[in-house]
Structures are given as C-alpha cells and as structure tokens.
Amino acid sequence: MSAGWRTLLLRIGDRCPEYGGTADHKEHIEICYNVLSREYEHSKDDIFEIGLINLENEDFAKGIVDATQANLQDALHTENRDRIRILLRFLCGLMCSKVISPNSIIETYETLLSSAATILDEDAGNACWQPRADFYVYCILASLPWGGSELFEQVPDELERVLVGIQSYISIRRHFDDIAFSVFETDEGNSPSKKDFMEDLWERMQLLSRNGWKVKSVPKPHLSFEAQLVVGKSHRFHPVSYPPPTFTMSSSEILKGQEMHEANLKYPQRLRRLHIFPTNKAENMQPVDRFVVEEYILDVLLFFNGCRKECAFYLVSLPVSFRYEHLMAETIFSQLLLLPNPPFRPIYYTLVIIDLCKALPAAFPSVVVAAVHALFDRISNMDTECRTRLILWFSHHLSNFQFIWPWQEWANVKGLPKWAPQRVFVQEVLEREIRLSYFEKIKQSIEDAAELEGLLPPKAGPNFRYHTDESKESTEGHRLSKELVSMVRGRKTTRDIILWVEEQIVPANGAKFAVDVVSQTLLDIGSKSFTHLITVLERYGQIISKLCPDEEMQLLLMDEVSAYWKNSTQMTAIAIDRMMGYRLISNLAIVKWVFSPANVDQFHVSDRPWEILRNTVSKTYNRISDLRKEIQTLRKSIQVAKEASAKAIKELEEAKSILEIVEGQPVSSERPGRLRRLQGFADKAKEEEVTIEESLEAKQALLARGLEEGKELLRLLFKSFVDVLTECLPPVSADGDVPNLRAGDPNVTFPASDPEAVTMEIDNENGADNNSQVNGENTEVGYTIGELEQWCLCTLGYLKSFSRQYATEIWSHIGMLDEEVFVESIHPLIRKAAFSGLCRQMNQ
C-alpha cells in the first residue's frame, strides 16, 4: 500500500471514524465523495486503486473503468481467481451506479461463457481443464446477486441469453461426486442425484430469477442517489480476452491425470459446504441469501488473513438484517476442514473462532459447543485427516478457555472398545491438552467425568532402563551407563567415547546391546528439556551415527526411543524428528518402523505412529521445497553477480584503454593506484560470481539427492500401505462385489481366522456391542470383526490422506507407483483410496 493511499485513508477516517460500522450508508458515501473530490488532483493514482467513482468528474470515472478493465484482463491471464471474482462483482456495482452500461456486463459474461464452452469442446478444448471453465461460470453466477436486478430491468433479453448459455454449459459439463474430498465418508457422496457445487449454485440463481432478483442480503446504496446517478454518463468498458488454451491433448491416462491435478490446483473449489446443524437449529434464510453470506464470510477471511481481530470485527458486522451465527460457524469449520488443504493455516481459523466467541459472548460460544457435539456424533464417518484437524483445533480452543468443557456428556465413551472412534477422539484431545498444559491441570478439568481419567495418557516422564535404584539389582548395563554418564560429565570428546564403546561394549556384548546402553543413556541426559535433547544430539550424534549405520540398527534405535519415551507421545515424535534432522535416522527407516507389527497394531487406537509418519514425509518434502527456493534465489543472485562482474571488468578495461605517449611509448594514463583498485573490484566481483555458482551447483546436487529420496520414500510408503492392507482386507466376492466396511454387512468375510482364538462379538462403528456372535470367527491377528473393520477404515483413510497431500509429488513419479498401487491386481479398496486422493475427476 502506497504512502499516499494510507494518507487518503487516514483523511477519510478522520472525517468518518465509524466507517465500516452500522451508520447510514448514504452518509458514508457523501463523506467519502467529498474527501475524494478534494484529493483527486493530489492522489489520482492512489484513488484509482480503490475504484471509488466521482460522478461529477468524467475523466476520473473513465480512469476507474479503464483501470478496472486492465486489472480484469491481467487477472484473467495471470489466473488470479480472487481478483477475477471481486472485479466482476465490482463491475456490477459500476453498472448499478450508471458508470458502465449493462451491455458491457453482458459482453464480459459472454466472453467468459465462450471460454468455458471452448474448454469443454471435444475438438478445440480439453475437458481435463473443466475446473477453469467451472470457475468462469461460477464467477458469473456469483456476481448476479449484486447485478441481476438491474440487468433484468434494463436488458432482460440479453440477460436471458446469458442464462440460456449457462444452462447449456451446465448440461454438458461433467458432474463431480467429490467423495474423495468430503469431510464425511458416506455413500451419499456417490449418489448421482446429489448436486455438486456448480449445479447447486445454478439452482439457487434460477430460484432468484423466479423471485424477481430480490436479495435481502445485498445492500443497494446506489438507490439513495438514484436521482443524481440517472444523469451520469456511462463509459465504455472495453472487451476482455481470456487466455488461450495452452494445454495439450493426450491419450495417455497418466498425462490426463496430471493435467486434471494441475487444473484442480489452479482452480480449486472455493467452498465445500459442511452441514453441521439440523434444519430446525440453523437460521432460516433464502438459498441465495445463504450463498451471499457465505461469500461475505469467505471474503472477510481472505482479506483479513493475518489480522484476526479485524477479521472477527467484520465477521460480526456483515451488512445483513438477520442472524447468521450458525451459518458463520458452518462456513468457518468448512474452511478449517477443507480437503486437501485449508486456504490458510489452521491456527488462523482457531484464533478467529476464539475472537468470535469473545466478540459475541452471548451467542457464538453456544453455537461452537453445538457444532462440536454435532461433529462428535458423526466422528466415525469423518475423514481421518479432518478428524486429526478437529482434534488439534479443539484442544487448542479449550486451552484458551481454561479447558472448560461438559466432559460428563461424553463420559460414556470410556465404556466403548479402545478402538471406537469417539473414544479415540476424546483420548487424543486429552493428550493434546496435556501438551498445551500439564497433567494435573487436565486431570482436574475432567473431575466431573471421573470415568475419563482412564483415557488420560500416563503421566509424562522418562522410562530409563538403567535408572539407579537400590531395590533393583545392578547389571552390566547399569555399570556401563553410569560410566558413560561420567565420561559425558567429564567432557570427554566424541572420539574418546566412540573408542570406549568399540573397545568396552561391542566386543563383549554386541552392537545391539551397545545401541541399547548408549541411546538410553544419552536420551536420559537430554531428557530435561527440548533444548537439552538438541544439545545432546549435536554433541554426541556422531556416536549414534557410528552405532547405527544401516536401517536395521536405526530400527533398533527407534525402538529404544519409543521405549524410553513410552509415556510421552510428544517426546517420542520430537526425538525421532530431530534424529532425522541430524541424519542419524533415514526417512526410509522411519517408514519401515512405523509399519512394523507393534506400530501397525496402534493404527486405529492412537495417533502416535501417524504423527511420526506425517512429520517424516512433511520434513522430506519441506527440504525439497526449501532447496528449490534457495536455488531460485541463487539464480537471481548469479544474474546480479554476473552483471556486477561485467561492469567491474568493463570499468577496468576502459581505464586501461586510456593511453598517453611517454618517451615515445604508449602507457596507461590512469594512476596505478586506481588501476589496482579497479583490478581488486573486478577480481572480487568475479570471485563472488564463482562462489555463488559453486553454491548453486551444490544446492542442485542436494536437490537431485532430495528428489531421489522423495521418490524412494513414496515408493516405500505406498508399498507398505499395500502390504499391510492386503493382509487384512476382506476379499472381493465371487460376483465381483467390493466389500462395504461401513455397512456392517454380515456377508463380509475377512482373511482366514485362527481356529484356536476366542470367539468374539461384532461391534458397530462406534464400538457399541451388538450382542451378536460371529459364528466363532476371529481374525488372524486376534481382532474382533468390528475392530478389524475399524483398523481397515483408518488405514485406508490415511492412505487416501497421504495421496491427497502429496498428489503433485506422486504424479511426478506415477510411472514408478503404477506397479505398486494402480494395477488391477491390487485390492479395489486400496486402489480407490490411493487414486481418489490424486484427482477427484478421474474415474476409479
């Protein structure tokens, strides 16, 4: 924002301090008009940025129109979605104020419609880019609540022509089921009768048309100035052009999938409605008003990102005459849980919800409570990634309100099986709360629901195997651990300790015992705090690296970390993450450890293994992302360095070229001192250029290595998912029917059972006992049928989550993965989970 623009805003604010509040719109407009009229000559360029219209200055209004046209043209070619959408709405405002003619709006609409139709044309287009076409049509429909009434009054035939064009487009576009990106994993997402976002919006606009284009939620401030505006001059809005389709047609399914993914990245669906509240609880408003308020809320979240208090202020001050707290909660939660990623960091929505609770203490907190209860009731059907986000949000939210919650209403979950989704949810929330506070505080917060104390994690603390205790017999491990502690306190060098380990421990007890003693002891030395742990790893990491050179020993090391911090999920994750950061453990070893039998058994009852796996994959690709940014910066620096070097060399050559005749011989006329300085500058500039080039080469080598590591990580990750799921999923029936794990179908059969296992009972999704037998059947790993169903659902959910989260990377290695995941021999449930996360448009 320019200094002149800030000054202008301050002057407006001085005259109208309540601007943006609830004062009369007409008064605001008159004050702004007077200020802008006086400031026009001094702040012409800055005023153009905001698009306010001076009705008595035709040049000013024409400048606004031309600037808007240029901005819209630029936004179309740079694919700036938010700017395109807002500028179309702004054009409707200009039309309502008689600054541009209605035909200009119609012409712009038809340009966008033509582009959308071209994209879907079988000969000239490419249906992979339907998201762009949908976006253009969405922008048209989304602007109609602001301009539809005036268009209907002034150019009804032209408006009808646009609506017919939209109807034609809707009839030929492909319907999106979007089930892979739904918050709740239910079968209703596959129903062909369910409308997708575009079909729903079109239906709302048709209803608006039948109601005479009357919208309660859109202010009409121009009506207060209708007598003045009617004599104003309408300016020509020059036509805009849409970017040409640069995409290529291909018969390759892989290339089509990559194009679909790219299109979805550039033109994602802005909102996936999350209907949390029953109809009788939510506000009763017209469908179009609901859409407009959603647009208001999303725009406020967009433009005030980073300004949480201002965001909350404007969210509670929307220009509507009816209440909308429930809709506001649904919209914010829909963004927080949006798949594959929320538009902004989850912490932003957390802070906004907190500030809304403080801004509307009598209304919004009760709405949030009702929303949490409604989501909790459906937690068993919630996408696993959304479930994790909800846990993180809820625990953080409670930490800002003294951890007060009616826990007694959820006390019954303690009686559910340990794998029941509602029980796991409560358990994980309590664990996260302890991270944000301390054990005794959280225990006190649930004193009204004493049953839930059994869901609290063990009181955090180390589990040191060689702790000195008079009641325990001292072993060889105790003696060696004590000696190692003495060496560390005596500040022995890393080399000395390595020699001691190699001479005193390994020969007599073996390498595995050495890993046991050294890792347990060093972890104990660093157990006081996170800083202590970092210090120990920095100083003595070479010892661990020497003892754990391969994956087998690294797996053993992680077992030791998990055993030492068995009472602290957080410290286990932190220790393994830091060890990976110092390259003491490879990312491949971590994946193998997470998919080891002991951890696989925890997949459906704890977030512990998943947190470690998420951190590992995220860290791997964050490294790659950071390297790419550094390489981009270095390339720019090289260009600057080359220019500086060339300039210095040129100055040196020019100085040397100036000659004079001395005693009949040509010699340089420059002083020797200046020539030496110029030579020094040239040498230094060249050295800087070479240094940057060497840095670039090093970073490029690291990037190549990182990409290869990422490729191998994805291969191992998906192979591990396929292996563990193939062992446990029920087979496809003889008729080819895919088993439905959520339906409680008694015909679903799991892999061969252990005949000696105890007969167990079927449990439903929430873990409630149905009191029915499984005809003596039990699973190979000793799970009940209900538990195994939940294990499969949870593991499939995380497979889908990883494929969504890292879809770009997966598509770049799709040829590598098609042998692991995308072949027909793979169980269809595995293939569906992996593939549906990659591209929502592609057929399974």
Do residues 211 and 82 make contact, with C-beta atoms less than 8 angstroms apart?
Answer: no
Q: Does 610 or 763 have the greater pLDDT score?
A: 610
Q: What is the mean pLDDT of residues 528-535?
A: 92
Q: Which amino acid is at 793?
A: L
Confidence of residue 755 (pLDDT cuts 50, 70, 90): very low
Find the farthest-apart pair of alpha carbons in the chain and give their distance in angstroms, rounded: 117
Check whether 745 has a pLDDT greater than 80: no
Burial class (CB in 10 A: 0-12, 13-18, 19+), 696: middle
Place of tokens 């512990």: 608
Architecture of the domain made up of 279-451: Alpha Horseshoe (1.25)
Please give the structure tokens belonging to residue 54. 């001076």
Confidence of residue 11 (pLDDT cuts 50, 70, 90): very low
Contacts 24+ apart (CB under 8 A), 284-287: 285/217, 285/322, 285/324, 285/327, 286/207, 286/211, 286/215, 286/216, 287/203, 287/204, 287/207
pLDDT value of position 64: 84
Alpha-carbon span 653 to 309, nearest angstrom: 60
Place of tokens 């469908």: 287
- Find, among 764, 803, 807, the residue nearest to 787 by Cα: 764
Per DSSP, what are the bridge partners of residue 773? 761
Kindly report which listed range (288-302, 446-460, 634-648, 665-679) carries the lowest average pLDDT score.
Answer: 665-679
Task: Render pLDDT for 105-135 as a digit per residue (tens, 0 to 9).
Answer: 999 999 999 999 999 887 777 888 899 999 9
**What CATH class is the domain 476-619?**
mainly alpha
Helices 608-657, 672-728: inter-axial angle, 10-degree rounding: 160
Dump strand ranges (E) for 557-643. none
User: What percentage of residues in the chain have a pLDDT greater than 90?
Assistant: 57
Backbone angles phi, psi at 566, to 5 degrees: -65, -20
Task: Render pLDDT for 694-740 as a digit per residue (tens, 0 to 9).
Answer: 999 999 999 999 999 999 999 999 999 999 999 888 888 777 778 78
Q: What is the mean pLDDT of residues 797-802?
A: 92
Task: Render pLDDT for 347-384 as a digit per residue (tens, 0 to 9).
Answer: 999 999 999 999 999 999 999 999 999 999 999 999 99
Alpha-carbon span 321 to 19, nearest angstrom: 18
pLDDT value of position 192: 46
Do residues 716 and 693 make contact, with C-beta atoms less than 8 angstroms apart?
Answer: no
Q: What DSSP state is assigned to residue 20?
A: T
Confidence of residue 483 (pLDDT cuts 50, 70, 90): very high
Backbone angles phi, psi at 100, to 5 degrees: -125, 160
The neighbour count for residue 278, using CB atoms within 10 Å, is: 9
Q: Does 126 or 206 have the greater pLDDT score?
A: 206
Q: What DSSP state is assigned to residue 566?
A: T
Q: Which amino acid is at 296?
A: Y
Confidence of residue 473 (pLDDT cuts 50, 70, 90): low
Alpha-carbon span 754 to 777, nearest angstrom: 8
pLDDT value of position 46: 41
The neighbour count for residue 823, using CB atoms within 10 Å, is: 10
- Find, among 502, 543, 504, 492, the residue nearest to 521 by Cα: 543
Q: Where are the domains of the chain?
A: 1-47, 49-219+232-266, 279-451, 476-619, 624-655+674-728, 787-838
CATH topology (fold) of 49-219+232-266: 1.25.40
Q: What is the sign of the dihedral through the CA atoms of 727, 730, 733 and 734?
A: positive
Please give the structure tokens belonging to residue 816. 């590598």
Check whether 22 has a pLDDT greater than 60: no
Whole-structure pTM value? 0.87
Confidence of residue 36 (pLDDT cuts 50, 70, 90): low
Q: Which amino acid is at 304?
A: F
3-state secondary structure 326-383: HHHHHHHHHHHCCCCCCCCCHHHHHHHHHHHHHHCCCCHHHHHHHHHHHHHHCHHHEC
Q: What Å distances lie between residue 842 and 70, 255, 664, 679, CA to CA?
A: 36, 12, 84, 63
Kindly report which listed range (78-92, 604-618, 635-649) carries the lowest average pLDDT score.
Answer: 635-649
Burial class (CB in 10 A: 0-12, 13-18, 19+), 838: buried
Alpha-carbon span 202 to 162, nearest angstrom: 12
